[in-house]
Amino acid sequence: MSVLYTIVPLEEVLAGWQAEEKINQGREVWVEGVYMQVEPIAPGVGKVIRLIHCGLDDYLNPQLSPGAVVKY
């Protein structure tokens, strides 16, 4: 347990805290040899959040860009 002593209002200290929870709800999967984090939108289908392990050329592939829909 930690205690935080600050003059900053609690609302500012906790700002963005819920946004982190949404990011962490993704599922990590392999798609076409690329390890990525996706947000499930249907069984076996997800929206790309980020690429975790891939080649440099994969970052230029529009089918693997954040927001793209992939099947896993």
The predicted structure's pLDDT at residue 21: 54
pLDDT in tens, 20-52: 555 557 899 999 999 999 999 999 999 999 999
pLDDT in tens, 1-21: 788 889 999 889 888 777 655
- Cα 3 to Cα 38: distance, rounded to the nearest angstrom: 34
> What Cα–Cα distance (Å) separates residue 34 from each residue in 9, 10, 31?
42, 40, 5
Taking the CB of residue 51, how many other CB atoms lie within 10 A of it?
18
Q: 16 in a domain, yes or no?
A: no
- Cα 49 to Cα 51: distance, rounded to the nearest angstrom: 7
40 and 28 Cβ atoms separated by less than 8 Å: no
Domain containing residue 35:
26-71
Q: 3 in a domain, yes or no?
A: no
Q: 9 in a domain, yes or no?
A: no
Q: Which residue has the tokens 């999967």?
A: 29
Q: 20 in a domain, yes or no?
A: no
Q: Give how many domains the chain has, as a whole number.
A: 1
